[in-house]
């Protein structure tokens, strides 16, 4: 009897069909994630690789009942999968922002009193080039000034509060608030 069981197991694993033998296994669910392209992007996707006894039913936290879901923002998604035998598996899937666009302060030179000789240099990582940098001076909220350029070095600055924004080729953004005092 043990020998016959081993032969049937090998036959099922090798996907050979023996009379009156079905090779249905345990229900398994493996998510395949495509992360959203950037903050606020709704182009994430989750596909499910499912094994078990078909047909399957799907119940997503979004209300969808399909095997794959698309047009997703970054966030946590839950799914319940049930096979024809009544086996149930649940999975939680995290969709993240793929761009990973980050902005960091690289160098800062504090200007002299009432002078416009300050320097601010920022460094960008992640995302996709080319990058556009915007510097907004928020020292006087009545006269907010903004500069736009292709590099992260801003010269001729006076003391004050600044906001640096970067936008990459896909429209993803990152911001950094800096005070020159």
Q: Is residue 4 part of a domain?
A: no
Cβ partners under 8 Å of residue 12, min gap 6: 21, 23
Domain boundary residue among 45, 65, 95? 95
- Under 8 Å between Cβ of 121 and 154: yes
Tokens of 59: 């119940």
**124, 151: one domain:** yes
Q: Is residue 150 part of a domain?
A: yes
**34, 65: one domain:** yes
Q: Is residue 176 part of a domain?
A: yes
159: DSSP letter? S
Q: Is residue 3 part of a domain?
A: no
**32, 56: one domain:** yes
Q: Is residue 14 part of a domain?
A: no
Domain boundary residue among 67, 95, 123? 95
Among 46, 62, 166, 131, smallest CA distance to 96 is for: 46
**52, 116: one domain:** no
Domain of residue 80 covers 22-95
Tokens of 41: 């992007």
Q: Is residue 115 part of a domain?
A: yes
Helix then strand then coil, in percent of the chain rounded to 5, is 10, 50, 45
**110, 44: one domain:** no
CATH number of the domain enclosing 43:
2.60.40.1080
In tens digits, what is the pLDDT along the chain, a chain of 181 residues?
A: 444 333 333 334 333 333 333 456 799 999 999 988 877 778 899 999 999 999 999 999 999 999 999 999 989 999 999 999 999 999 999 998 877 788 999 988 887 887 888 889 999 998 888 999 999 988 766 666 777 888 999 998 888 889 999 998 888 888 999 998 8
Domain boundary residue among 39, 63, 95? 95
In order, the DSSP letters of 13-30 are: HTT---TT-------EEE
**165, 113: one domain:** yes
Number of domains observed in the structure of the chain: 2
Whole-structure pTM value: 0.55
């Amino acid at each position: 009897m043990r020998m016959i069981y081993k032969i049937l197991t090998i036959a099922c694993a090798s996907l050979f069909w023996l009379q009156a033998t079905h090779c249905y296994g345990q229900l398994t669910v493996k998510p395949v994630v495509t992360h959203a392209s950037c903050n606020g992007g709704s182009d994430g996707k989750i596909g499910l690789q499912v094994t078990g006894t078909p047909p399957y039913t799907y119940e997503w936290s979004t209300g969808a009942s399909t095997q794959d879901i698309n047009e997703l923002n970054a966030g946590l998604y839950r799914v319940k999968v049930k096979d024809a035998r009544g086996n149930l598996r649940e999975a939680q899937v995290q969709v993240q922002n793929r761009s990973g666009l980050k902005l960091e302060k690289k160098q800062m030179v504090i200007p002299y009193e009432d002078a416009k000789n300050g320097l601010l240099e920022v460094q960008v990582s992640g995302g996709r080039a080319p990058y556009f940098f915007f510097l907004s001076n928020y020292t006087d909220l009545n006269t907010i000034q903004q500069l736009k350029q292709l590099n992260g070095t801003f010269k001729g600055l006076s003391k004050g509060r600044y906001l640096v924004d970067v936008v990459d080729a896909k429209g993803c953004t990152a911001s950094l608030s800096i005070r020159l005092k």
